[in-house]
Structures are given as structure tokens and as C-alpha cells.
Amino acid sequence: MRDLREPTGELVAEDLVEERVLARFGTGLQTTTLTPAPAGRVRWSRTPGPDHPDGWWHPGSVVERLRPDRPGARFALPGSWSARHVAWDVRGATTLAAVVRADPDADLTRRAVRDVVHGLGGLHADLRDVPAADLPPRPPGLDRLAHWLDGRPTTRAGHTWREHLFDRLGARRRDLLRALAADLALRADRSTAAVHGWLSAGNVVVGLDEAGDPLVQVLTGPDVGRGVPELDLGCLLGELVEFSFRAGRHGLDPVGFDHLAHTVRALYPHGVDRDLLHAATVLRIVLHSSDFSRFVGWDDDLLVYPGAIADLLDAQQRP
């Protein structure tokens, strides 16, 4: 199943609309266009898709707390930012999702994942103990998930997928899933910290710095919100877990993806609530599947999700 935010999504145009367009791909959530930018950079521009009419918010002054000298991945803020358009100038046109999918055992892949984890530790250090007046609302993904779990009207295959997943999970697991989502949202609302929000590998660009060394950059900003660090860590971990349980369907060995997931757990520099991290991991997987169903449509890869989600829920402690 394709990621919503990286170049393996539905291709809208490539070198067709205008000479300077390197690639354009989109879903009902958003359209991303890559064009050349000054100093050898690539401009990643995003506009809302047809099923995302409200566009993006600006989280306010909290992002000014991010320090550029932290080790690990760099968190890039948009140079252009409005509800209808965001754009980042970064070095590279390849996402971490594509790098992981191509070879989870490659040195570049392992280094990139390590850099993201170390960088995430720095971001969380920068964004903790924020004055209440400077804290933005919780990341929008938590509300998208809550609305979908509550049975609100949806688009494309969103209703079909919700009915299929809920039927396979059964009442007990459905109730647990809703309880976990409500608990994570409540913890976010009570937090005194901000988080990246929806830390997808499709939002991580892997390129080269001026010296030709690997450089990992995270497209940051529109999803920043009030929350707990486990939310970000669970997003990254959940994506790697997805790669693992989908591997067999595509004739791939899951071991490399499992090793990367272990790296995420082992290298994060701050203490975490393991039960909360597990819950955030499960919720990220459910949110990705629901987003895919309503912003892209049906994909038979979704059929492997109910069993994996059920297993993860069975290993979860109720909040």
C-alpha cells in the first residue's frame, strides 16, 4: 500500500505540466509538487487535495524554539506557509519511505533512521515545557482518527474499510481501539509539550549536504501540535511495523524492517511510557489505513491489516 505523502503515491504528472516540474503526485489529502530551488535544492510544495478543504494551520511561535544545531536529522520549516500552500527548500527528492522500501538493510537506510531518532530526541527537548499560551492544539491526525472511529461520514473507500476492519476486530477490540484513541487525545490536551505530529517516513527527505555526505531532513510544521513524545515515536515505529507485516504479501523478508523498528526503540534518548508507545504505534497504523481508504481508495494490501491490528491490540494494556 502506498504512502500518502511520498512519491510512490498516485502520479499526477511528471515533466508534463511545465519544464521545471520534477514530479507531482497527489491524493485526496494533498498534492505535492517538486521543482528545482536555488543552491541545488529541491522545493517541496504542497496544496490541499479535494478531500482536505480546510488546508493547514500554522502552529505559531512554538516552532521558533527548534534549534538548528541539534545532532541527527534536520527539521526543516516551510519558507512559504499558508492554509492553502506550504513549501520547503531541502536537499534531495527521495523520501525515507522510498529508501526503506528499497533496502531496509542498506547502510544509508540504517543511518537515516538513526538520524531521525536522534533528531526527534532533540526536537522533543526543544519543545517541552512550553508556556500554555504558546501551545497549539493537538495534531490534526488525532481528530481525523477520532472522527473516523466514531463513524462519521467519510469519502471514497473510508466507510467500506471501517466496516471491514470493525467486523474483523470484533466488539472488544473496537472498544479498546476507541479507548486508546481517546486516552492519547486526552494526554495530548493535558501536555505541556509540543510534538512534530504525523512523523511519516514520507515526510523525511534523504539527500546530500554540500560536502556530498548523507543528509536527513524532516518536513516540519503543519502537523506540529500539543502532545506527548510517544505520539511521534509511535508514528515512526508504526510505519516500520507496517512495512514488516506487509512484507510477506510482496515477497519480501520482514527481518530488515524489524531491525529498523528495534533501532527506533533502542536509540530514542529519553524515557518513554512503553504501554503508551505501543498504543501510539497501533493508532498510527489504524490512522494510516483510514487515511488511505478515504484519500486514495481501496487497495488489497488493506486485507492484511485487520489481523496485524488485532494482534497488536491483544498485546495492549487498556488505559
Q: What is the pLDDT of residues 230-245, one digit of tens each?
A: 999 999 999 999 999 9
**Count of structural domains within the chain:** 1
pLDDT-derived band at 53, boundaries 50, 70, 90: confident
pLDDT-derived band at 318, boundaries 50, 70, 90: confident
In a domain, 29, yes or no: yes
86 has a pLDDT exceeding 70: yes
Strand-pair partners of 214: 208
In a domain, 6, yes or no: no
- Between vectors from CA 233 to CA 231 and to CA 238, what angle results, nearest 5°? 90
pLDDT given for residue 19 in this prediction = 54
pTM to 2 decimal places: 0.93
In a domain, 319, yes or no: no
In a domain, 103, yes or no: yes
CATH of the domain at 140: 3.90.1200
Tell which residue, 28, 24, 30, 20, has the closest CA to residue 11: 24
Mapping DSSP to helix (H, G, I), strand (E, B) and coil, where does residue 126 land?
helix
End-to-end CA distance of the chain: 30
In a domain, 182, yes or no: yes
11 has a pLDDT exceeding 80: no
255 has a pLDDT exceeding 80: yes
In a domain, 60, yes or no: yes
pLDDT given for residue 316 in this prediction = 85
Q: What is the DSSP letter of 26?
A: E
pLDDT-derived band at 1, boundaries 50, 70, 90: low
In a domain, 3, yes or no: no
**C-alpha–C-alpha distance, residues 21 and 305, integer Å:** 35
In a domain, 118, yes or no: yes
The residue segments making up the domain with residue 73 are 11-314
The secondary element (H helix, E strand) that includes residue 45 is strand 41-48
